[in-house]
Structure 1
Amino acid sequence: MARRVYLHIGAPKTGSTYVQNVLWHNRDRLAESGILLPGSAVAHDQAMADLRAASWRDAEVYWTWDRLAGRARDWSGDVIISNEGLGAATAEQAARAVRSLGSAEIHVIVVGRDLWRTFPSFWQQSVRARGGWRFEEFLRAVEEGRCEVFWENHTAGRMLRRWGELVPAPRRHLVTVPAPGSPHEVLWHRFAGIVGITEGRYELPEPTPNPSLGAAEIELLRRVNRKLGDRYPLRTPYRRVVHRHLVDAVLRRRPNELRFGIGPDRADWVRDLAERQISELREFPCQVVGDLDELRPARSTPGGSPGAVDDAHLLDVAIETIVDMLGHAEALSDAGEHQPPDAFTRLRHRAAGGVTRRLRRAIRREQR
Structure 2
Amino acid sequence: MARRVYLHIGAPKTGSTYVQNVLWNNHSVLNDAGFLLPGSAVAQDQAMADLRAASWRDADVYWTWDRLAAKARKWPGDVIISNEGLGAADDAQAARAVESLQPAEVHVIAAGRDLWRTFPSFWQQSIRARSGWRFGAFMRAVEQGKADVFWSRHTAPHMLRRWGDLVPAERRYLVTVPPAGAPRHLLWRRFAQIMGIPDGLCELAEPTSNPSLGAAEIELLRRVNLALGDSYPLRTPYQKVVHRHLVDAVLKERGNELKFGVGLDRAEWVRDLAEQQIKELQDYPCQVVGDLDELRPTTMRQTTSPDELDDGQLLRVAVETIVGMLGHAESLDRRADRQPEEVLSRLRARAAGGVKRRLRLATRRDT
TM-score (norm 1): 0.92
Q: Is the 8 A contact 1:259 1:302 kept in 2?
A: no
Mapped to 2, the partners of 1:234 and 1:201 lie a distance apart of 38
Mapped to 2, the partners of 1:139 and 1:156 lie a distance apart of 19
**Structure-2 change in CA distance of 1:109 and 1:227 (3 Å):** same
The answer for the alignment partner of 1:92 in structure 2 is: 92
Mapped to 2, the partners of 1:25 and 1:327 lie a distance apart of 30
Aligned-residue offset at 1:307: 0.8
State the Cα deviation string for residues 43-69 of structure 1 (Å, max 9, x = none): 110000000000010121010000000
Aligned-residue offset at 1:209: 4.8
Aligned-residue offset at 1:21: 0.6
State the Cα deviation string for residues 267-299 of structure 1 (Å, max 9, x = none): 001000000000000000000000000000021
The residue type paired with residue 93 of structure 2 is Q
Mapped to 1, the partners of 2:122 and 2:204 lie a distance apart of 27
State the Cα deviation string for residues 186-242 of structure 1 (Å, max 9, x = none): 000000001111101220122235321111111101000000001111211001000
Q: Structure 1 unaligned runs (5+)?
A: 348-368
Mapped to 2, the partners of 1:342 and 1:70 lie a distance apart of 40
**Structure-2 change in CA distance of 1:324 and 1:106 (3 Å):** same
The answer for the alignment partner of 1:161 in structure 2 is: 161
Query: What pairs with 1:197-208 in structure 2 (closer than 5 Å)?
Result: 197-208=197-208
Mapped to 1, the partners of 2:332 and 2:242 lie a distance apart of 15
Aligned-residue offset at 1:342: 7.9
Whether 1:36 aligns to 2:39 is no
The answer for the alignment partner of 2:124 in structure 1 is: 124
The answer for the alignment partner of 1:54 in structure 2 is: 54
Secondary structure of 2:111's match? Answer: strand
The residue type paired with residue 61 of structure 1 is V
Q: Structure 2 unaligned runs (5+)?
A: 348-367
Mapped to 1, the partners of 2:113 and 2:82 lie a distance apart of 17
Whether 1:267 aligns to 2:270 is no
The residue type paired with residue 240 of structure 1 is K
Mapped to 1, the partners of 2:107 and 2:171 lie a distance apart of 5
Secondary structure of 1:297's match? Answer: coil
Whether 1:173 aligns to 2:153 is no
Query: What pairs with 1:1-368 in structure 2 (closer than 5 Å)?
Result: 1-340=1-340
Secondary structure of 1:249's match? Answer: helix
The residue type paired with residue 229 of structure 1 is G
Deviates more, 1:302-311 or 1:131-140: 302-311
Secondary structure of 1:201's match? Answer: coil
The residue type paired with residue 126 of structure 2 is S
Secondary structure of 2:13's match? Answer: coil
User: Considering only aligned residues, what root-mean-square deviation do their CA atoms show, in Å?
Assistant: 1.6
Percent identity reads 72
Deviates more, 1:335-344 or 1:193-202: 335-344
Q: Is the 8 A contact 1:131 1:225 kept in 2?
A: yes
Secondary structure of 2:121's match? Answer: helix
Secondary structure of 1:29's match? Answer: helix
Aligned-residue offset at 1:255: 3.7
Mapped to 2, the partners of 1:210 and 1:12 lie a distance apart of 10
Mapped to 2, the partners of 1:165 and 1:199 lie a distance apart of 30
Mapped to 2, the partners of 1:312 and 1:33 lie a distance apart of 56
Deviates more, 1:187-196 or 1:200-209: 200-209
**Structure-2 change in CA distance of 1:53 and 1:266 (3 Å):** same
The residue type paired with residue 46 of structure 1 is Q
Secondary structure of 2:340's match? Answer: coil
Mapped to 1, the partners of 2:65 and 2:205 lie a distance apart of 29
State the Cα deviation string for residues 63-99 of structure 1 (Å, max 9, x = none): 0000000001000111001000001101100000011
Mapped to 2, the partners of 1:255 and 1:175 lie a distance apart of 28
Aligned-residue offset at 1:35: 0.9
Secondary structure of 2:332's match? Answer: helix
Mapped to 1, the partners of 2:252 and 2:157 lie a distance apart of 31
Which contiguous aligned blocks of 4+ residues in structure 1 show a shift greater than 6 angstroms?
Answer: none
Mapped to 2, the partners of 1:301 and 1:330 lie a distance apart of 40
State the Cα deviation string for residues 18-57 of structure 1 (Å, max 9, x = none): 0111111111111111111111000110000000000010
TM-score (norm 2): 0.92
Q: Is the 8 A contact 2:264 2:302 kept in 1?
A: no
Mapped to 2, the partners of 1:191 and 1:70 lie a distance apart of 24
Mapped to 1, the partners of 2:210 and 2:283 lie a distance apart of 34
The residue type paired with residue 195 of structure 1 is M
Mapped to 2, the partners of 1:276 and 1:312 lie a distance apart of 41
